[in-house]
Amino acid sequence: MTEIVDILVVDDDAAIRTVVSAALRRAGYAVRAVGTIAAMRTAMAEREPDVLLSDVVLPDGDGLDVVAALAQTHPALPIIVLSAKNTLSTAVRANEVGAFDYLPKPFDLDKLAETVDSALGRGGEPLAAPDLLGDDANPLIGRSPAMQEVYRVIARIVPNDLTVLVTGESGTGKELVARAIHDLGPRRHAPFIALNMAAIPRELIEAELFGHERGAFTGAQARSAGKFEQASGGTLFLDEIGDMPMEAQTRLLRVLQSGEFTTVGGARTIRADVRIVAATNKDLAGRVADGQFREDLFYRLNVVPVALPPLRQRPEDIVLLARHFLDKAAQEGLPRKRIDRDVAPLLERHSWPGNVRELENLMRRAAVLARDEAISAGDLRPMLGEATAAGTPPLAEAAGIAAAVRARLLHLHEHDPRALDDGTLYNRIIAEVERPLIEAMLERNDNNQLRAARALGINRNTLRKRLQSFGML
């Protein structure tokens, strides 16, 4: 470097000050580190830094209030917020008060250095953001690094109208992300309208989206506004966009390009004043390659991608989510329950094919069925399809089905011989085989229930009922 860049770090944790200072000095920066807002003001009076790094919770005040004040008095100063309060609300508020960026603790030191480099290159232009909703309005829960990255992306995109494509497996919370983008953005006082493309018959999709005039088709007795009109001024959430028929894709593309549409059977041009958030559990890029999805529409939708991690990739969030769902169930009138300390390992090793939705259904079921106030691992094992005896693996993990059945019968003979004669043996063993079989076929068919049902040789409604019984819907 030809010039020394001065970085001021404000954090009440001496260990963090030491680690951050050492990392930034290795990157070639001059670093000053203080532990209070008062010390920060003294340091800034002596020499204004090129970049400020500030914690949120400080001994003598709220770091974000300081950031807001500095954004007014020192608009050219790039400020990076560091926080252990890793919620979506914190990320959004950091942007709201004019921070350059937000880094949740614990953060990667290389990422910190990259962010400082970026702040210097940007010249500290603050990011605009909307008014912040309270934490109670935040539907997204998780402190894992994967969810922190989701929060950071959402915080940056809520102030504008960029089109967003949310991807992730079924049950990961794609609609919650869409609602958060709407509820935290400037369109929050206007409607949020959701449309599941997979649930609409192909011949009715265009009428659902754009509306229709009286007499436009058989059964059209009166004019009907479509979702674009219903969502005017707000947000239109197009769920399962990967299932949209090709002919409807063409018309949606024209609307995204021109910002205008006409109703089915109509001639008057209507302005489309909506923000589009689309979601899919499909590999859209793969569907483009297979000719099943328009490439130009894909790029129109994929302006800002938000990838939601499956629950199995964020095990540190599972207990936090489980407690949240138990509180939610109690607020809805179900018995108030808590989870015992032995539950965490069981929940964290489960594969969660139904993701967050499966966990919520499990907690609601446990709130009703668990006899004690504290839900134990013994309560949950049968609900998860695991063996009731500690240390016994699920049937699906055995080397072969025949060997697994024999091993289970032997185990029952040794540990619970009454189970061999109580009339429940057939249903018990079938249930243990059925769930992993269905999970495997859904995975093999990209979570397409219709294809999985055909492969299994059962009706789709039967499959849906079994998924509901397993808490996977």
Q: What is the pLDDT of residues 291-325, one digit of tens each?
A: 999 999 999 999 999 999 999 989 888 988 998 89
CB neighbours of residue 195 within 10 Å = 20
Are the CB atoms for 177 and 154 separated by under 8 Å?
Answer: yes
pLDDT for res 3: 60
Q: Give the amino acid at 97.
A: V
How many CB atoms sit inside 10 A of residue 163's CB? 15
**Which pair of structure tokens corresponds to residue 170?**
């079924």
Question: How far apart are alpha carbons 33 and 11 in whole angstroms?
Answer: 8
Contact 438, 467 (CB under 8 A): yes
- Summarize the confidence of residues 166-193 as an average pLDDT: 91
At 138-152, the pLDDT tens digits run: 557 887 888 888 888
pLDDT over 70 percentage in the chain: 88
Torsion, CA 292, CA 296, CA 297, CA 302, rounded to 10: 110
Give 368-397 pLDDT, tens digit per residue.
998 899 999 888 988 887 544 444 444 444
Question: How are beta strands 374-375 and 338-339 bridged, if at all?
Answer: parallel
Predicted structure pTM score: 0.61
For strands 260-261 and 270-271, give the pairing: antiparallel
Tokens representing 320 are: 């936090």
SS3 state at 278: strand
Q: Is the pLDDT reported for residue 262 higher than 60?
A: yes
Average pLDDT score, the chain:
82
| pLDDT-wise least confident of 90-104, 272-286, 389-403, 459-473 | 389-403
Round to whole Å and give the CA distance between 219 and 197: 21
Q: How many CB atoms lie within 10 A of CB 157?
A: 21
Tell me if residue 212 falls in helix, strand or coil: strand
Angle between helices 460-469 and 425-444 (to 10 degrees): 110
Write down the pLDDT at residue 136. Answer: 42
- Position 473 pLDDT exceeds 80: no
Q: If 0-12 CB within 10 Å is exposed, 13-18 middle and 19+ buried, where does residue 70 land?
A: buried
- Cα distance between residue 176 and residue 147, in whole Å: 13
**pLDDT band at residue 412 under the 50/70/90 scheme:** low
Q: How far apart are CA 224 and CA 236, in angstroms?
A: 17
Sign of CA dihedral 435, 440, 441, 442: positive
Q: Is the pLDDT of residue 280 over 90?
A: yes
Q: Report residue 402 as tokens.
A: 């025949």
Q: Which residue has the higher pLDDT, 119 or 284?
A: 284
Give the pLDDT confidence of 339-364 residue by residue, as tens digits.
988 888 889 888 888 899 999 999 99
Longest dimension (CA), the chain: 84
As a whole number, mean pLDDT of residues 32-45 equals 91
Rounded-to-integer distance, Cα 274 and Cα 235, Å: 5
DSSP summary character for residue 291? T
Which tops the pLDDT comparison, 28 or 50?
50
CA distance 313 to 30: 38
The pLDDT of residue 279 is 96
Q: Which residue has the tokens 């839900």?
A: 375
Strand 30-34 with 6-10, pairing: parallel
> DSSP 3-state assignment of 181?
helix
Which neighbouring-strand residues pair with 103? 82
Pairwise CA distance, residues 385 & 29, whole Å: 55
pLDDT of residue 401: 64
Please provide the distance, in angstroms rounded to a whole number, between the alpha carbons at the two ends of the chain: 56
Q: Are 280 and 165 in contact (CB under 8 A)?
A: yes
β 270-271/192-196 pair status: unpaired
For residue 78, give both structure tokens: 């790039």
Query: Beta partners for 98?
Result: none
Contacts of 165 (CB under 8 A, 6+ apart): 241, 277, 278, 279, 280, 284, 301, 302, 303, 304, 305, 306
Distance CA 379, CA 370 (A): 6
